[in-house]
Amino acid sequence: MSDTSYVPMSSRDAKDALADLLVNLAGALDAEQFDPTVGAEVGSALVRMRLTNPVVVARSAEVLAELPRLSESGTAFFRSKYAALMGSFGQGYAAALQADTLSDQQAIQATMSTTHKQTEQAAKATDTRFRVVFDNAAVAIAIGDLRGVLVDVNPAMAQMLGQDAGELRGASAFDLGHADDYDLARRRILDELIAVGSGTVRLEARFRRGDGSYGWAMFAITLVAGDGDVDGYLLAVGEDITERREMQAALYRQSRHDPLTGLPNRLLLHEDIADAIDIAEPDDHIGLCFLDLDGFKYVNDQFGHATGDRLLAAVAARLQEQATADGYVVARLGGDEFVAVMAAPIDIDAVTAAASRLLASIKDPFEVDGHKLSVSASIGVVAQPVFGADADAILETADVALYRAKADGGAGFFVHEPTPS
């Protein structure tokens, strides 16, 4: 509805176009001057090509997860760029799809917003056209009184909610949403619409289906003012955006987690440290164990990168198990570098004890591809003041401590003594 000039693509043309988009993404990873906006352009292009079917979207996410294999730079190169590119892709896709949805809603609103100050004959014709649009529109439409009680719903709305239209008439629209969205919905509708007496508000909110599950919808809610003996009413035009929200969530997770190990990546680690800084008290310290495997290059050279990747995944699993048991987070920065983060309040003794347990967790050999492989690690241990600190500076201090541990021969840890305050 929003683009009447759209011409469906043949299967061959679609495949060629998708191949070009994938090449664009891979090229962005390998470019000397990295431009993450390429991801947003590709996401927007998918919407313009009308490739928004949930099956297509799910398959696209699977293909994008394999994107690093197309990069010429190898498995270790793309980490931070891939995260930024996928985040940009999700933003571009969501923005284009939202614009498309709003355009559809506006078109419906334009069709249905006709003047009722006409002759009786014209009004009857308008009512007839309204009913045709109402009953056959692909988007969900509801009419409610100024208290939010549903007067009528069209078949698309009933289908979206998973309930019979007859059961919905007389129900409060506020009772059909999620409890956590109740206050927001009432405030937007009562304060921004009914109190003003006119206008349209747009709202993304969860709705409850007939089976008790929840989905997400985008609604454009218009106050149609009354005239004389005719009461005003609320006209809501909505679309189920559950699949889009899930796609955004999947892309968000991909952009912040390492695809090899599933651990948080550098981007998410940096965000977590920044969050800890924001909520820190003046005397709080944050603990870090910056871990690097000793001699890992030998494994790659001797057994190949595929075996090396599987060893990294196995090491990550043990580190994650230990971190979960101790109640902290471990992330992979790339290559064979990992960082464990311990939230405030904590002291250097507790961080040192955690480092000892991390080393112990990877002491036993790993069975990988028929080989029994043993690895050791070096760890830089710090407990840094976090109030008013800088996330990069904290990581840099831990990195320097790691360098000292490596210089001391590895297979152990170096404790950076905090500067007296």
Q: pLDDT by residue (tens digit) across 348-392? A: 999 999 999 999 999 999 999 999 999 999 999 999 999 999 999
CA neighbor of 413 nearest in space, from 332, 346, 353, 330: 353
Q: What is the pLDDT of residue 373?
A: 94
- Whole-angstrom distance, CA of residue 299 vs CA of residue 5: 57
Q: What is the pLDDT of residue 132?
A: 80
Instruction: Please list the alpha-helical segments (H only) found in 281-390.
Output: 296-303, 305-326, 348-361
Task: Answer for the pair 137, 108: CB distance below 8 angstroms, yes or no.
Answer: yes
Active-site pick, 104, 283, 336, 347: 336
Band (pLDDT 50/70/90 cuts) for residue 119 is very low
Q: Is the pLDDT of residue 215 over 90?
A: yes
Enter the pTM of the model: 0.61
Q: What is the pLDDT of residue 2?
A: 47
Task: Answer for the pair 320, 330: CB distance below 8 angstroms, yes or no.
Answer: yes
Output the six-digit token pair for 195.
């109190």
Question: How much of the chain, in percent, has pLDDT values that exceed 70?
Answer: 82
First to last CA, the chain: 65
CA neighbor of 314 nearest in space, from 356, 254, 375: 375
Three-class HEC string of 163-224: CCHHHHCCCEHHHHECHHHHHHHHHHHHHHHHCCCCEEEEEEEEEECCCCCEEEEEEEEEEE
Strands 366-368 and 337-342: unpaired
Q: What is the pLDDT of residue 59?
A: 65
Range with lowest mean pLDDT among 108-117, 348-357, 388-397, 404-413 = 108-117
Task: Answer for the pair 323, 329: CB distance below 8 angstroms, yes or no.
Answer: yes
> CA–CA distance from 110 to each of 130, 184, 238, 283, 409 (Å)?
11, 26, 14, 59, 73
Q: Cα 156–159–164 angle (5° rounding)?
A: 110
Q: Is the pLDDT of residue 116 over 50?
A: no
Q: What is the pLDDT of residue 1?
A: 45
- Whole-angstrom distance, CA of residue 86 vs CA of residue 313: 22
User: Within a 10 A sphere around the Cβ of 210, how many other Cβ atoms?
Assistant: 12
Output the six-digit token pair for 281.
């008290």
When computed from its CA atoms, the radius of gyration of the chain, rounded to whole angstroms, is: 28
Output the six-digit token pair for 64.
């994008």
Q: What is the pLDDT of residue 49?
A: 78
336 is catalytic: yes
Q: What is the pLDDT of residue 185?
A: 86
pLDDT in tens, 43-61: 788 778 777 666 666 666 6
Average pLDDT score over residue span 101-110: 69
CA neighbor of 173 nearest in space, from 217, 111, 128: 217
- Whole-angstrom distance, CA of residue 79 vs CA of residue 96: 26
CATH superfamily entry for domain 257-415:
Reverse transcriptase/Diguanylate cyclase domain (3.30.70.270)
Q: In CATH, what class is 113-244?
A: alpha beta
Q: What is the pLDDT of residue 146?
A: 87
Q: What is the pLDDT of residue 275?
A: 93
